[in-house]
């Protein structure tokens, strides 16, 4: 049995943000750059007025209810990324072997982690910038998913297997999400 009614979301675009719609592909432009995303679904309708993005689903089932909320969150994250961007702060922690962290091209290079001879590497996702200053690593970008994935890649590169993390606390850890 289908649920009665419909669900609608209206997302107003702030000043300085423009959007265009081609089929189910939404492209947004702002002062920080351009982002695009695919929002095609057979039951969810997306439309665009001058400064308002409309999302609507008729007679939604459980999956359509969840998906229209997800679409709403993605569009809001696109707008936030284009206006203020996303930023992650990571802290470099070591007790015995001093780590050297640097950025080379599309990778973060972590040298002398736990005294290892070969460096560990973490991938930087497209559209993200990584800055290392002292023991703080800053990851910035306009795409929330790419910025978060880059921070997770850096944190995951220093994961130690087979040791108690309460004792061996060396690594690079996410401290702030802005």
pTM: 0.90
CA distance 54 to 68: 11
> Where do we find the tokens 């679409």?
71
- 151: helix, coil or strand? helix
Question: Identical fold at 6-83 and 86-177?
Answer: yes
Give me the CATH topology for the region 86-177: Outer Surface Protein A; domain 3 (3.90.930)
Could you tell me the residue ranges of all domains in the chain? 6-83, 86-177
CATH architecture of 6-83: Alpha-Beta Complex (3.90)
pLDDT in tens, the chain (178 residues): 344 689 999 999 999 999 999 989 999 999 999 999 999 999 999 999 989 999 999 999 999 999 999 999 999 999 999 999 999 999 999 998 999 999 999 999 999 999 999 999 999 999 999 999 999 999 999 999 999 999 999 999 999 888 888 888 999 999 999 9
Length reported for the chain: 178
Tell me if 163 sits within 8 A of 75, measured CB to CB.
no
pLDDT for 136 = 97
pLDDT for 4 = 60
Q: Which residues contact 102 (CB under 8 A, 6 or more apart)?
A: 108, 109, 111, 132
pLDDT for 115 = 93
pLDDT for 101 = 97
- CA distances from residue 77 to 28, 104, 128, 131 in whole angstroms, order as listed: 11, 29, 15, 23
């Amino acid at each position: 049995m289908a649920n009665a009614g419909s669900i609608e979301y209206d997302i107003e675009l702030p000043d300085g943000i423009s959007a265009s719609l081609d089929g189910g592909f939404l492209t947004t432009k702002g002062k920080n750059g351009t982002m695009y995303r695919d929002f095609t679904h057979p039951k969810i309708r997306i439309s665009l007025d001058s400064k308002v993005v409309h999302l609507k689903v008729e007679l939604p089932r459980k999956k359509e209810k969840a998906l229209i909320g997800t679409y709403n969150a993605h569009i809001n994250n696109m707008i936030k990324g284009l206006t203020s961007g996303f930023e992650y702060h990571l802290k470099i922690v070591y007790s015995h072997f001093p780590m050297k962290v640097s950025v080379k091209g599309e990778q973060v290079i972590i040298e002398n982690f736990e005294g290892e001879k070969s460096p560990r590497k973490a991938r930087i996702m497209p559209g993200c910038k990584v800055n290392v200053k002292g023991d703080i690593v800053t990851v910035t970008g306009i795409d929330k998913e790419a910025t978060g994935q880059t921070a997770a890649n850096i944190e995951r590169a220093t994961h130690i297997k087979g040791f108690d993390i309460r004792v061996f606390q060396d690594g690079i850890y996410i401290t702030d999400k802005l």
